[in-house]
Amino acid sequence: MKRLDQVLANDGVGAELELVIKDVMVACKDIAYKLAQGELAGILGATEDENVQGETQKKLDVISNDLLKDILIANPYVRGIGSEEEDYTVAGNAGGKYLVTFDPLDGSSNIDVNLSVGTIFSVLEAQDDQSGDNQEVFLQNGRKQVAAGYVLYGPSALLVMTTGNGVNFFTLDRNIGEFVLTKSNIQIPEDTAEFAINMSNQRFWEPEMKQYIDDCLAGEEGPLGKRYNMRWVASMVAEVHRILVRGGIFMYPYDSRDPSKAGKLRLMYEGNPMSMIVEQAGGASSTGRIDIMDVEPKGIHDRVPVVLGSKNEVAKVVAYHSK
């Protein structure tokens, strides 16, 4: 049995980064225990507030955000944090080397129906001496990430993470309160016939995306020559996890519902960390036109169109966009 800290040490992760990741996990374990208690812990339901994204905050969005924020800004190695649920980035320790961005609770529309949700995090290095409450210090592309991961709160709580040396699965052992290694060197199958997209937005998509999905639906008789299956959990963490386990393609493309937004998902909390994990597992991740990790962020809450998963299927979607 290998604990998370042993695996990190084995991968040559320095003590400072390890302590940052460890603190993220302290918060995630707390979230996992609260989720397991559900209604008993009084954590279900919505608040009366909206976040900066214009979305109603669930109670657990706020609780999870506070757990992560409080522990991380007290960590001596954390310069600052950026969160989906915070209007601005928050300063940590001026001498800290690391910046952490996170989606404290992903798929939060699933909480009240007792389905899978997750936490997504990304770690960057601060490149200069600016304070963590200045968002400029965070505006680095996804290639600069030094660690990325998510915790999937499902029937068991699973940590999936990478520090640039492949992807590992860790399962939370509630008896000892630790994440232990349960699968290593995850590889996403290169081909798939399973897609995940919110079909109800079809009429708002660009013609390239419409065409690809039409061709998937045409099955064996269509130009793609195979019969596709579809899944939609409405929780990116669960969707990406399924893809890591059995392959697939996940898309949240640009749509014209709100033309001012590049997509629904957020680059710094969802797009970049998931892209690092997927690429580290041999998959691919694109906006449909360029690799997500090559997108240069202009603001901490930037949105991005997302197409990720099995390498050869992502390449097909990219080919539709370059026709």
Give binding residues as ranges.
84, 103, 105-109, 198, 264, 270
Contact between 267 and 209 under an 8 Å Cβ cutoff? The reply is: no
Query: Which amino acid, 291?
Result: D
**Segment 41-70, which members bind ligand AHG (CB under 6 A)?**
55
3-state secondary structure of 262: coil
Stretch that binds ligand AHG, among 2-10, 24-32, 70-78, 229-237 (CB under 6 A): 229-237
Stretch that binds ligand AHG, among 105-113, 138-146, 240-248, 253-261 (CB under 6 A): 105-113
Which residues are documented as binding site for Mg(2+)? 84, 103, 105-106, 270
How many C-beta neighbours within 10 Å does residue 129 have?
Answer: 9
- Out of 127, 156, 198, 202, the residue judged to bind ligand AHG by CB under 6 A: 198
Report CA-CA distances (Å) from 14 to 68, 157, 159.
Answer: 21, 25, 19
* Contacts of 41-49 spanning 24+ positions with Cβ under 8 A: 43/111, 44/111, 44/112, 45/112
The verdict on 18 binding Mn ion (CB under 5 A) reads no
Q: Give the nearest distance from C-beta 81 to ligand AHG in angstroms.
A: 16
- Out of 18, 23, 106, 208, the residue judged to bind ligand AHG by CB under 6 A: 106
Pairing type for strands 249-252 and 194-196 reads parallel
Q: Which residue is nearest to Mn ion (CB)?
A: 106
User: Tokens at residue 234, please?
Assistant: 């409405």
Binding mask 68-97 for Mn ion (x = CB under 5 A): ----------------x-------------
**Segment 125-184, which members bind ligand AHG (CB under 6 A)?**
none
Helix H, strand E, coil C: the string for 157-221 is EEEEEECCCCCEEEEEECCCCEEEEEECCCCCCCCCCEEECCHHHHHHECHHHHHHHHHHHCHHH
For ligand AHG, give the closer residue by CB, 7 or 148: 148
- Out of 75, 89, 122, 235, the residue judged to bind ligand AHG by CB under 6 A: 235
The verdict on 108 binding ligand AHG (CB under 6 A) reads yes
- Rounded Cα distance between 219 and 229, Å, is 10
Residues at the site binding ligand AHG, with contacts judged by CB under 6 A: 55, 84, 103, 106-109, 198, 234-236, 239, 252, 264
